[in-house]
């Protein structure tokens, strides 16, 4: 990881763990290689359909080009969602060869850091007093992608050529697929946390395997059924 990224809005040594894990923790897991993606065909199909329904431009005017290209962006979308099997905690004595991380891995690493080191202190600013640290984790994650979309022509070019989804949909797509977000903000009926979503987390890692000592570990587990936002499309993950 380049040292230049260890600055705001990704990292600050004065921030609590919740905010650092929510921002730079995701960046650590943004990439997946082709071999990893190949093992998740069912899950990838669901993600392709889901993100293909995000349309930042007018479909009447631009047709299919108005929407995110789910096929083009699937690798990055799955990586954002944390769709690999492994997570890496900062407490490892040595770095295991598990490079694929995502928001689930970052969240689990953050929660396990609390188990080992105790809870983060409350932030002193009044505007943050009303947020739990789980909520700050997700706010920190979303802030990383906070930016203007640019002109219509530049957005259209991005939709046609960029393997990354536009920034707002990297946030919306990732969070709507992660039940911990729904639980943190207590928003079960929110359009940002729909009941039908893609499950892109299919495995748990024994984090004790890489840690000198273990407290109570957090398990972020969901039913291994992938639900697409497209009607009638459901994929089971074995």
Here the tokens at position 102 are: 């995502």
Q: Is residue 8 part of a domain?
A: no
Overall domain count for the chain = 1
Residues 157, 103: Cα–Cα separation, whole Å: 27
Q: Is residue 93 part of a domain?
A: yes
Q: Is residue 108 part of a domain?
A: yes
Please enumerate in sequence order all residues whose Cβ is within 8 A of that of 208, keeping only pairs 6 or more positions apart, or say none.
214, 217
Question: Which comes out higher in pLDDT, residue 95 or 140?
Answer: 140
Predicted pLDDT at 38: 55
Looking up residue 59, the CATH number of its domain turns out to be 3.40.390.10
Does residue 213 have a pLDDT over 70?
no
Question: Which comes out higher in pLDDT, residue 153 or 97?
Answer: 153
Q: In terms of residue numbers, what domain contains 94?
A: 13-120+127-236
The alpha carbons of the chain give a radius of gyration, in whole angstroms, of 18
Predicted pLDDT at 96: 33
In the predicted model, what is the mean pLDDT of residues 124-146? 89
Predicted pLDDT at 49: 93
Predicted pLDDT at 43: 75
Q: Is residue 17 part of a domain?
A: yes
Predicted pLDDT at 120: 87
In the predicted model, what is the mean pLDDT of residues 172-200? 87
Give, to the nearest 10 degrees, the angle between helix 103-117 and helix 17-27.
150
Q: Is residue 5 part of a domain?
A: no
In the predicted model, what is the mean pLDDT of residues 27-37? 56
In the predicted model, what is the mean pLDDT of residues 184-209? 70
Q: Is residue 153 part of a domain?
A: yes
Residues 57, 123: Cα–Cα separation, whole Å: 39
pLDDT digits (tens, 9 = 90+) for 1-31: 677 788 888 888 888 888 888 888 766 655 5
Predicted pLDDT at 198: 83
Query: By mean pLDDT, which of 36-45, 106-115, 148-157, 158-167 is the weakest?
Result: 36-45
Q: Is residue 7 part of a domain?
A: no
Please enumerate in sequence order all residues whose Cβ is within 8 A of that of 105, keeping only pairs 6 or more positions apart, or say none.
25, 29, 82, 84, 86, 87, 88
Beta carbons within 10 angstroms of residue 188's beta carbon: 11
Predicted pLDDT at 163: 93
pLDDT digits (tens, 9 = 90+) for 62-111: 999 999 999 999 888 888 887 443 332 232 233 333 322 478 888 888 88
In the predicted model, what is the mean pLDDT of residues 23-48? 67
Predicted pLDDT at 44: 78
Predicted pLDDT at 98: 30
Q: Is residue 146 part of a domain?
A: yes
């Amino acid at each position: 990881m380049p040292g230049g990224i260890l600055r705001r809005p990704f990292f600050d040594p004065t921030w609590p763990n919740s905010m650092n894990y929510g921002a730079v923790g995701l960046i650590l897991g943004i990439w997946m290689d082709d071999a990893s993606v190949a093992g998740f065909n069912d899950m990838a199909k669901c993600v392709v359909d889901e993100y293909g329904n995000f349309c930042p431009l007018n479909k009447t005017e631009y047709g299919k080009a108005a929407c995110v290209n789910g096929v083009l962006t699937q690798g990055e979308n799955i990586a954002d969602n944390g769709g690999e099997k492994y997570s890496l905690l900062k407490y490892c004595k040595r770095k295991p060869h598990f490079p694929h991380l995502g928001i689930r891995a970052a969240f689990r690493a953050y929660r396990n850091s609390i188990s080992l080191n105790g809870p983060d202190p409350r932030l002193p600013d009044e505007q943050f007093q009303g947020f739990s640290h789980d909520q700050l984790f997700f706010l920190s994650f979303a802030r990383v992608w906070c930016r203007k979309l640019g002109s219509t022509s530049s957005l259209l070019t991005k939709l046609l050529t960029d393997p990354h989804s536009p920034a707002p949909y990297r946030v919306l797509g990732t969070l709507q697929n992660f039940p911990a977000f729904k639980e943190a903000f207590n928003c079960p009926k929110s359009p940002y946390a729909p009941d039908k979503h893609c499950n892109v987390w299919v495995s748990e890692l024994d984090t004790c395997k890489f840690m000198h000592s273990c407290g109570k570990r957090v398990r972020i587990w969901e039913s291994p059924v992938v639900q697409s936002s497209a009607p009638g499309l459901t994929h089971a993950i074995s």
